[in-house]
Chains A and B, each alone.
Chain A
Amino acid sequence: MRVERGESGPTLCPTTLSSVRLAWPFSFRRVPGSPPQQGSTRMQAMLKQRSGVRAAQPGRRAVQIRAVAAPVKAASASKTPLVTPEVAKDLYYDMVLGREFEEMCAQMYYRGKMFGFVHLYSGQEAVSTGVIRLLRQDDHVVSTYRDHVHALSKNVPAREVMAELFGKKTGCCRGQGGSMHMFSAKYNVLGGYAFIGEGIPVGLGAAFQSKYRRDVLGDEKSDSVTCSFFGDGTCNVGQFYESLNMAALYKLPHIFVVENNLWAIGMSHLRATSRTSGDHDPHIYKKGPAFGMPGVHVDGMDVLKVRQVAQEAIERARRGEGPTLIEAETYRFRGHSLADPDELRSKEEKARYLERDPIPQLKKYMLEHGLATEAEIKELEAKVMEVVEDSVKFAEESPKPERGQLLENVFADPRGFGIAEDGRYRYQMPGFSSGTAIVS
């Protein structure tokens, strides 16, 4: 199923209204666009209309609301776009790459080219693109099993990711990791973890290393930051809290990015997480200040908003001011994994978020602000398709791992297999390089 990208932009909905809340004295620059007066009166009218509708009858009547820019984007007379054309195109390309790659994965899975648990990111691209495209190559990214797009945003070649998914030896992890364990030493993607929460401390370790390099080893230029991505479900895992505490305590350059898509397989966030005091809903971003770091809630379906928030968090971290907790409200258009029947989420909820698809939003923004022409956008999309199709071809044609790979990466130092009866190290025995040596 390909996600239809319509021309209509985002629908006004209650959650968007309340979606930018800040639990910290934090300056949030507003997106210029519609003139203030018009926006607010229109907004008020619509609110009245909507609440009127709700109050009038229990069953909801379909209300035709014309698309407007997100309401918090009020006011400023300046029509300067938030980003340059180059950046806008880069963001668009990255999001479309993420989307097309994931949709291709779905096709390949159902055609029997990849197996096991495959968790697709479709719908959440604004978070990955919004954050990761701001990072340098020496910055680190840690993710969970929903990691394909994080790797792609970090510049890991699509070929290597697809080949890994096909289980070929040309994959980024030689076919040994698979969908849930994407690693890249070159682009500093530290995984890919199957157990949610277990990657966050690893991210902290990378941030610790960055600080250590500066404070202990005296490398003044060491200011790399680490971003750990995880979901709403992870926010109930103990390691999340252990990590929040240590990150704030040691003032580590680490950014916690919560991709709150409201669902942990079939468990709704509202059923799994207790409400923060005085609130109607459980707010994850409010847990930041409890540990001594700013907590920010952002519309995770809007790549420019995510980017703004991420920019500030990254700069804070680089300056040595410590961690930030970002809660991005987002949604996955597909089930938890390709094996998930996805029966619990309501059609209305899915439809609501489909209308907030980040890719058409950005496209509209680019066209409105003259950041790209239709032709240029089409060119970007065509380029993406080329890359994705090439990655499939590459993966198909790549060889499978040989038996000899079996024992190769178990130990960094193969002496760890021990000493055999004849006094030689086991890795020196014949058969080791063909994976047939007896090593235990």
Chain B
Amino acid sequence: MLASRNARVAAGHRAAAVPGLRTVPAVRSGRRALAAAKAQKKEIMMWEALREAIDEEMERDPTVCVMGEDVGHYGGSYKCTLGLYKKYGDMRVLDTPICENGFTGMGVGAAMTGLRPIVEGMNMGFLLLAFNQISNNCGMLHYTSGGQFKTPLVIRGPGGVGRQLGAEHSQRLESYFQSIPGVQLVACSTVRNAKALLKAAIRSDNPIIFFEHVLLYNVKGEAGDKDEVACLERAEVVREGADVSIFTYSRMRYVVMQAVNELVKKGYNPEVIDLISLKPFDMETISKSIKKTRKAIIVEECMKTGGIGASLSAVINESLFNELDHEVIRLSSQDVPTAYAYELEAATIVQSSQVVEAVERIVGGRVPAAV
């Protein structure tokens, strides 16, 4: 039941994706959610899980700090730092002016000299303005300094296609950042893995670019306790199967699971792997799965050209060629700017029906399960 609720939320039910709207109902629902979560201690929303992760890590390690636009007094445009400035002060939850390149660089310098900053991009797309710092400095300084300085930075923010947010607020930067040497790319997808992965990212000595998704902040689920820290390099097996391996990440996981519901009724048994670590790839999980199913489909939200799927497809081709019965299929977004209009936006990203059709094509006929 939670899964289908989350699927609806993730699929972009209109009420769910209102970025940082500070109308009274939104604030009230935020506070209500916090209170409810406290009472239940069971299910919380992803933004709360991320907030918990940041809060716990800041409490554990006084060198952890947050910098970004509206992270302090505003509480974060997606509430991921709600109220934290009251607890930790204005310096630890630093409201920056609008200068991404500048404050990301400041984060790099702070990281080099002993702090552990979390740099928030209000929208991942804004981090394009910080590309100089992320690529040249954040990723490379450990190397060019001959190992003298490390940059234990976490750069996080919401990306992905939202609900009619227009081209520039619908960017998927994982494909742009993946070539940068020296950074790790991690994409969270559930409440549980979001909290555990963010904690791991904050503790890591490497610079981590942490991808969240605009439409997943209100997804509900159980989060781990303060000691649950995930492995940043491991993929997650969402569903074990035998027919086909579907590799996905972030919001597309929900799209895939929606397709899987239909496919199961039709008699298919797909294996679904959430990549989690977009760079580096978890070759153990990936190769185990492909050796079992001998077929691979990649479902991603980034553009087809130069995307995560392009890299993964090449790697599978190079190292698992003889394990494949079929060429790797990539379902990616169209190489077009994301339109504002609902129908065009829906046409640019992968829909669950496409996933179903791809599985049917690659696996062939099956006997449908009894209704």
- A residues 414-440 near B (Cβ < 8 Å) are 415-423, 425-426, 439-440
- Give a binary string over B133-158; 1 marks a CB under 8 Å from any A CB, 0 the rest: 10011000111111111111000000
Question: A418 and B205: CB pair below 8 A?
Answer: no
Stretch in B110-118, B254-262, B297-305, B359-367 with 4+ CB within 8 Å of A = B110-118
Given A185-B149, A246-B99, A249-B97, is A410 in contact with B142 using a C-beta cutoff of 8 Å?
Answer: yes
Please give, as numbers and ranges, the residues of chain A lying within 8 Å of B101 by CB-CB distance.
Answer: 201, 238-239, 242
Q: Which of A175, A185, A198, A440 contacts B148 (CB 8 A)?
A: A185
A181 to B287, CA, bound (A): 40
Please give, as numbers and ranges, the residues of chain A lying within 8 Å of B204 by CB-CB distance.
Answer: 413
Whether, in the assembled complex, B167 has its beta carbon less than 8 Å from a beta carbon of chain A, the answer is: no
- Give a binary string over B170-186; 1 marks a CB under 8 Å from any A CB, 0 the rest: 00000000000110100
A238 to B315, CA, bound (A): 39
Given A243-B102, A411-B182, is A176 in contact with B110 using a C-beta cutoff of 8 Å?
Answer: no
User: Which of A140, A198, A416: most chain B CB closer than 10 A?
Assistant: A416
Question: A421 and B283: CB pair below 8 A?
Answer: yes
Please give, as numbers and ranges, the residues of chain A lying within 8 Å of B113 by CB-CB distance.
Answer: 140, 190, 205-206, 209-210
Closest B residue to A171 by beta carbon equals B146
- A residues 221-268 near B (Cβ < 8 Å) are 238-239, 242-243, 245-246, 249-250
Whether, in the assembled complex, A56 has its beta carbon less than 8 Å from a beta carbon of chain B, the answer is: no
A170 to chain B, nearest CB (A): 10
Whether, in the assembled complex, B30 has its beta carbon less than 8 Å from a beta carbon of chain A, the answer is: no
A190 to B150, CA, bound (A): 11
Question: A246 and B184: CB pair below 8 A?
Answer: no
Whether, in the assembled complex, B216 has its beta carbon less than 8 Å from a beta carbon of chain A, the answer is: no
B51 to chain A, nearest CB (A): 20
Given A183-B144, A191-B141, A423-B284, is A418 in contact with B233 using a C-beta cutoff of 8 Å?
Answer: yes
Whether, in the assembled complex, A200 has its beta carbon less than 8 Å from a beta carbon of chain B, the answer is: yes
Stretch in A211-219, A278-286, A339-347 with 4+ CB within 8 Å of B = A211-219
Whether, in the assembled complex, A202 has its beta carbon less than 8 Å from a beta carbon of chain B, the answer is: yes
Whether, in the assembled complex, A192 has its beta carbon less than 8 Å from a beta carbon of chain B, the answer is: yes
User: Which of B65, B137, B147, B181: most chain A CB closer than 10 A?
Assistant: B147
- A residues 153-208 near B (Cβ < 8 Å) are 171-177, 181, 183-185, 190-195, 198, 200-208
Please give, as numbers and ranges, the residues of chain B lying within 8 Å of A417 by CB-CB distance.
Answer: 280
Question: B145 and A191: CB pair below 8 A?
Answer: yes
Interface size on A, residues (CB 8 A): 64
Question: B280 and A176: CB pair below 8 A?
Answer: no
Please give, as numbers and ranges, the residues of chain A lying within 8 Å of B104 by CB-CB distance.
Answer: 201
Q: Which of B65, B109, B133, B148 contacts A206 (CB 8 A)?
A: B109
Given A176-B144, A177-B144, is A239 in contact with B105 using a C-beta cutoff of 8 Å?
Answer: yes
A35 to B142, CA, bound (A): 55
Whether, in the assembled complex, A15 has its beta carbon less than 8 Å from a beta carbon of chain B, the answer is: no
Whether, in the assembled complex, A409 has its beta carbon less than 8 Å from a beta carbon of chain B, the answer is: yes
Question: B281 and A418: CB pair below 8 A?
Answer: yes
Question: B145 and A181: CB pair below 8 A?
Answer: yes
Whether, in the assembled complex, A408 has its beta carbon less than 8 Å from a beta carbon of chain B, the answer is: yes
Question: B149 and A212: CB pair below 8 A?
Answer: no
Whether, in the assembled complex, B107 has its beta carbon less than 8 Å from a beta carbon of chain A, the answer is: yes
Whether, in the assembled complex, A412 has its beta carbon less than 8 Å from a beta carbon of chain B, the answer is: yes
Please give, as numbers and ranges, the residues of chain A lying within 8 Å of B233 by CB-CB distance.
Answer: 415-416, 418-419, 425
A301 to chain B, nearest CB (A): 30
Please give, as numbers and ranges, the residues of chain B lying within 8 Å of A411 by CB-CB distance.
Answer: 142, 182, 184, 206
Question: A205 and B110: CB pair below 8 A?
Answer: yes
Q: Which of A174, A193, A419 contacts B234 (CB 8 A)?
A: A419
A215 to B97, CA, bound (A): 21
A184 to B148, CA, bound (A): 7
A378 to B255, CA, bound (A): 78
B229 to chain A, nearest CB (A): 13
A410 to B181, CA, bound (A): 7
Closest B residue to A172 by beta carbon equals B146
A314 to chain B, nearest CB (A): 18
Closest B residue to A140 by beta carbon equals B113
- Give a binary string over B80-102; 1 marks a CB under 8 Å from any A CB, 0 the rest: 00000000010110101101011
Question: A246 and B102: CB pair below 8 A?
Answer: yes
Please give, as numbers and ranges, the residues of chain B lying within 8 Å of A440 by CB-CB distance.
Answer: 280, 315
Whether, in the assembled complex, B108 has its beta carbon less than 8 Å from a beta carbon of chain A, the answer is: yes
Question: A245 and B97: CB pair below 8 A?
Answer: yes
Q: Which of B103, B143, B144 contacts A201 (CB 8 A)?
A: B103
Question: A413 and B280: CB pair below 8 A?
Answer: no
Q: Which 4 A-B pairs have the closest CB atoms?
A: A205-B109, A201-B105, A418-B280, A242-B102
A-B contact pairs, 22 of them (CB 8 A): A174-B146, A174-B147, A177-B144, A183-B149, A198-B133, A198-B137, A201-B106, A205-B109, A205-B110, A205-B113, A209-B115, A238-B101, A239-B132, A242-B102, A242-B103, A243-B106, A246-B99, A246-B106, A413-B204, A418-B277, A418-B283, A422-B284
> Contact residues of B with A, CB < 8 Å?
62-63, 65, 89, 91-92, 94, 96-97, 99, 101-115, 132-133, 136-137, 141-152, 181-182, 184, 204-206, 232-234, 277, 279-285, 287, 315, 319
Known contacts A206-B109, A250-B94; 10 additional CB pairs below 8 A are A183-B148, A183-B149, A201-B109, A202-B109, A217-B62, A239-B101, A246-B97, A417-B280, A419-B280, A419-B283
